[in-house]
Amino acid sequence: MIGRDSQEDSCRGAACRPRVEPGMRSRRGKGKPYAYLLGGKKPMVTTDIREFAYGACQRRENVLTASFFDWHLAVVAEYAGRLAAHLSADAEIVQLAAYLHDISAVFDFTTMPNHRKLSAQFATRELLERGYPRDRACIVARAIASHSDPLPIGSASPEEICISNADAVARIVRPAYWLYFASEIRKYGFEDGRRWLRSLIERQWSALIEPAKQLVGERYSGTMNFLAGRYSLL
Ligand SMILES: [Fe+2]
Q: Which residue range forms the structural domain that includes residue 141?
A: 4-19+31-171
The 10s digit of each residue's pLDDT in 74-110 is 999 999 999 999 999 999 999 999 999 999 999 999 9
Query: What CATH number corresponds to the domain at position 139?
Result: 1.10.3210.10
Residue 207 lies in a domain: no
CA of 167 to the centre of ligand 1 (A): 5
Residue 214 lies in a domain: no
CA of 73 to the centre of ligand 1 (A): 7
Residue 222 lies in a domain: no
CA of 134 to the centre of ligand 1 (A): 23
What three-state secondary structure class fits 97? helix
Residue 228 lies in a domain: no
Q: What is the DSSP string of 119-176?
A: HHHHHHHHHHHTT--HHHHHHHHHHHHT-SSPPPTTSS-HHHHHHHHHHHHHHHH-HH
Give me the number of domains the chain comprises.
1
**Residue 5: predicted pLDDT:** 34
Residue 188 lies in a domain: no
Residue 146 lies in a domain: yes
The CA distance from 3 to 22, in Å, is: 35
Contacting residues for 128 by C-beta, under 8 A, at least 6 apart: 18, 31, 134, 137
The 10s digit of each residue's pLDDT in 144-162 is 999 989 999 999 999 999 9
CA of 133 to the centre of ligand 1 (A): 24
Residue 57 lies in a domain: yes
The CA distance from 179 to 198, in Å, is: 9
The 10s digit of each residue's pLDDT in 31-79 is 444 544 555 544 589 999 999 999 999 999 999 999 999 999 999 999 9
CA of 7 to the centre of ligand 1 (A): 23
> Does 122 have pLDDT greater than 90?
yes
Backbone angles phi, psi at 131, to 5 degrees: 80, 15
Residue 74 lies in a domain: yes
> Does 23 have pLDDT greater than 90?
no
